[in-house]
Amino acid sequence: MPFLQVIEYQTSRWDEMQALVTQYRKDTAGTGTAERTTICVDRAAPGRYVAIVEFPSYEAAMENSNLPETEVLAEAVMALCDAPPVFHNLDVSQVIED
């Protein structure tokens, strides 16, 4: 069953955050299990972002979470956030395509 992790965060250090994500993708090339990541900018709240990370399964997400590079990224991201991020861990029950 597909699994999504939605991360809501606030940062005034967008460029630094993007540099971290770019480096993480390089560091986990071939070992990361995420299938897609979509970064969204909240039009109504400047400095607020939402990352939607798609995995083939919960187990794949946990495998990704256990990578040493993920731990390093998480610590660095926390330092750049203006407030603690909010995580939503979601099992996909239905996909409707129009």
The predicted structure's pLDDT at residue 42: 97
Residue 96: what pLDDT? 94
* Separation of alpha carbons 13 and 2, rounded Å: 31
Q: What pLDDT is recorded for position 20?
A: 95
For the record, the structure tokens of 56 come out as 């083939």
Provide the greatest CA pair distance for the chain: 40
Pairing of strands 48-55, 86-91: unpaired
Give all strands (DSSP E) within the chain, no chain letters: 3-10, 36-41, 48-55, 86-91
Residue recorded with tokens 């909240």: 42
pLDDT at 5: 98
Chain segment 30-43, per-residue pLDDT in tens:
999 999 999 999 99
Average model confidence (pLDDT) across the chain? 96
Which residues in the chain show pLDDT less than 70? none
Q: Class of the 3-91 domain?
A: alpha beta
- The whole-number pLDDT of residue 41 equals 96
* Domain regions of the chain by residue span: 3-91
